[in-house]
Amino acid sequence: GLIEQALRHADMDTEFRLAFQPLVDIRSERTVGFEALARWTSPTLGVVSPGDFVPVAERSGLIARMSPVLLSWALDAAKTWPEDQRLSFNLSVRDIASPEQIARIIEIIELSGVDPGRIDLEVTETAVMRDFDQAARSLAALKALGVRIALDDFGAGYSSLSYVHRLPIDKLKIDGSFMRGLGAADKRRAIVKTILDLCRNLGLDCVVEGVEEPEQLVLLRPLGCRVVQGFLFARPMPGEAVAGYLAAER
Ligand code: G
Ligand code: G
Ligand code: MN
Ligand code: NA
């Protein structure tokens, strides 16, 4: 298709950049880290969203050369942040499925000089499902380096709880679909509460994604939610905006 064609000829350095979205502790209302999100402006197609190009990059195998570049950019950015700020980076199903790619990713993190303890690598359930045994080996190798593993889009797909105990998961990110238009009487509120309780009982960190309205925060606070990500606090921003954003908060 058109996207694959443009992606195949894309010049990463000029066409791609990262945006960074804050993760916010709702008790202190302070930013605790940023998720790196890929952005692409193609000379032929214009702005293409990652929801459209990431699946194409995965199917075509092009993601194999993109992930290392994006990760090194994300680490370069994190190096300039205060040390208490974490970096979240999305790994693709293809990354997780390849021992060679995992070795490359580990090397990039080691060479970056960023403390692996500051890094969350996000994986989706679909990525893990594809080849469980290889995913388990990949995550174990990454964990050994000292990074933390987050299960992304939790609750959106097949959400097998077996992954949570069979894999070295540190954090669940509750899918943004649970927040969209959420009201007090909504069943989804009970589901979010149950996932937050699960995290507490298992000693996992938890992030509620897609928080857009102050009313959603009012609903989340009594459920024991600590960290959220969403347009209510900030949209993804260019790397150059991060320092000013943090300074304004302090
Ligand atoms: O930023 P946005 O919400 O449009 O992202 C849409 C999807 O693309 C999300 O599922 C997100 O995880 C994924 N995505 C964004 N940036 C990256 C990236 O750098 N690598 C991978 N593998 N996925 C990404
Ligand atoms: O799948 P993943 O969680 O990695 O994707 C995150 C995506 O969600 C990003 O593309 C980001 O732009 C988007 N996002 C972040 N906060 C919100 C929000 O409050 N509302 C909506 N609709 N999307 C959001
Ligand atoms: Mn994510
Ligand atoms: Na998500």
Sketch out the chain's domains with CATH numbers. Answer: 2-249 (3.20.20.450)
User: Is pLDDT at 174 greater than 80 in this prediction?
Assistant: yes
DSSP track, 74-125: HHHHHHTS-TT-EEEEEPPHHHHH-HHHHHHHHHHHHHH---GGGEEEEEEH
Answer whether 47 contacts ligand 1 (Cβ < 6 A): no
Answer whether 38 contacts ligand 1 (Cβ < 6 A): yes
Q: Model confidence over 81-98: pLDDT tens digits? A: 999 999 999 999 999 999
pTM for this structure?
0.97
Residue 150 to residue 146: CA distance in whole angstroms? 13
How many angstroms separate the alpha carbon of residue 54 from the centre of ligand 1? Answer: 7
Type of residue at 193: K
Check residue 159 and give its pLDDT.
Answer: 67
Identify which of 18, 21, 23 to mutate to test ligand 2's pocket (most ligand atoms within 8 A of the CB): 21
Q: Which two tokens stand for residue 97?
A: 């499925």
User: Is pLDDT at 32 greater than 90 in this prediction?
Assistant: yes
Q: Model confidence over 1-11: pLDDT tens digits? A: 999 999 999 99
Mean of the pLDDT values across residues 191-213?
96
Which-ligand-closest: CA of 229?
2
User: Is pLDDT at 200 greater than 80 in this prediction?
Assistant: yes
Banded pLDDT at 24 (limits 50, 70, 90): very high
Banded pLDDT at 22 (limits 50, 70, 90): very high
Check residue 162 and give its pLDDT.
Answer: 84
SS3 content of the chain, % helix, strand, coil (to 5): 50, 25, 25
How many angstroms separate the alpha carbon of residue 24 from the centre of ligand 4? Answer: 15
Check residue 90 and give its pLDDT.
Answer: 98
Residue 87 to residue 196: CA distance in whole angstroms? 22
ipTM for the predicted complex comes to: 0.96
User: Is pLDDT at 248 greater than 70 in this prediction?
Assistant: yes
How many angstroms separate the alpha carbon of residue 37 from the centre of ligand 3? Answer: 8
Q: Dihedral sign, CA of 106, 109, 112, 116?
A: negative
Answer whether 51 contacts ligand 1 (Cβ < 6 A): yes
Tell me the pLDDT of the chain averaged across its residues.
95
Q: Model confidence over 153-163: pLDDT tens digits? A: 998 877 678 88
Answer whether 96 contacts ligand 1 (Cβ < 6 A): no
How many angstroms separate the alpha carbon of residue 152 from the centre of ligand 3? Answer: 5
- Determine the atom of ligand 1 nearest the C-alpha atom of 19: 1
- pLDDT over 90 for what percent of the chain? 88
